[in-house]
Amino acid sequence: MRRQTRGYMQSFETTASAAALWRALTDSALVITWLATDAVVEPRAGGRHVTVSRLFGRREAHIERFEPGLRLRLLYEPNSDWPALPDSALMEDFIIDEKKGQRMLRVIGAGIPADEQYSKMLVRLRTGWALAFAQLQLRIKDGTIREAAP
Residue type, 2: R
Which element (helix H / strand E) includes 30? helix 28-34
Q: Say if residues 145 and 34 touch (Cβ distance below 8 Å).
A: yes
Q: CA-to-CA distance for 121 and 88, rounded, in angstroms?
A: 14
Q: Of how many residues is the chain composed? A: 150
Going from N- to C-terminal start, the domains of the chain cover 5-141
Phi then psi dihedrals of residue 63, to 5 deg:
-80, 110
Question: Can you tell me the distance from the alpha carbon of 16 to that of 145, in angstroms, rounded to the nearest whole number?
Answer: 9
- Name the helix (H) or strand (E) containing 68: none
pLDDT in tens, 94-146: 999 998 889 999 999 999 999 898 999 999 999 999 999 999 999 999 999 99
Q: Is CATH 3.30.530.20 the classification given to domain 5-141? A: yes
Please give the residue that has the higher pLDDT: either 122 or 84: 122
pLDDT, the chain, mean: 94
pTM: 0.93
